[in-house]
Amino acid sequence: MKAMPSKSPTVLKGLVEINFYVSVAVLIAGCVLSVSEDASFFEFNVDLYGPLANNLRMILVYLALTEVFLCIGCFLLRKSHFFILIGLSLVMMIGSLEIYGMINGIEVDPDLSIFFAYTGLSHIAFGLSAYFSNEKNINVKTKPY
């Protein structure tokens, strides 16, 4: 009697994939909405920090554009495992924000660190899932019978 394969890896992969797409939407929306005073998820305190806070906003807008192009490129090339590197760079943005705030003497909203941790870890999980899924498919194809 053959054992039935477990559905839990498939369900877990589906949850990781859904979480990834949500994180991409959150990243793009959070970055684009940071331009607006009223709709922004983050506090920039432009009255106190002026152009430096606005520079951070523009960096977030560029990050949203970069995310769009990276996603399109990765999916067109079918290289979803590259999201591991993208996720690592998003997680490293946490430290970069701290350095930016320290050098420029401005307060950076702590929600930005949570934002980058969530989006970065989601990208890493999706990339690892794609990598291991691809590795499994390669092993199945090359396995002698």
Q: Is 43 helix (H, G, I), strand (E, B) or coil?
A: coil
Residue 107: which H helix or E strand, with range?
A: none
Per-residue exposure over 69-95, b if at least 16 CB sit within 10 Å of its own CB, e if not? ebbeebeeeeebbbbbebbebbbebbe
Residue 135 CB partners (closer than 8 Å, separation 6+) = none
**pLDDT (tens digit, 9 = 90+) per residue, 96-141?**
989 988 888 888 888 889 999 999 999 999 999 988 887 665 555 5
Q: What is the pTM of this model?
A: 0.81
Q: For residue 83, give both structure tokens.
A: 């999201």
The Cα-based distances of 15 to 8, 20, 40, 117 in angstroms read 10, 8, 27, 18
Mean pLDDT to the nearest integer, 43-54:
71
Q: Domain residue spans in the chain? A: 16-136
**pLDDT (tens digit, 9 = 90+) per residue, 51-98?**
777 788 888 899 999 999 999 999 999 988 899 999 999 999 999 989
Q: Is 145 helix (H, G, I), strand (E, B) or coil?
A: coil
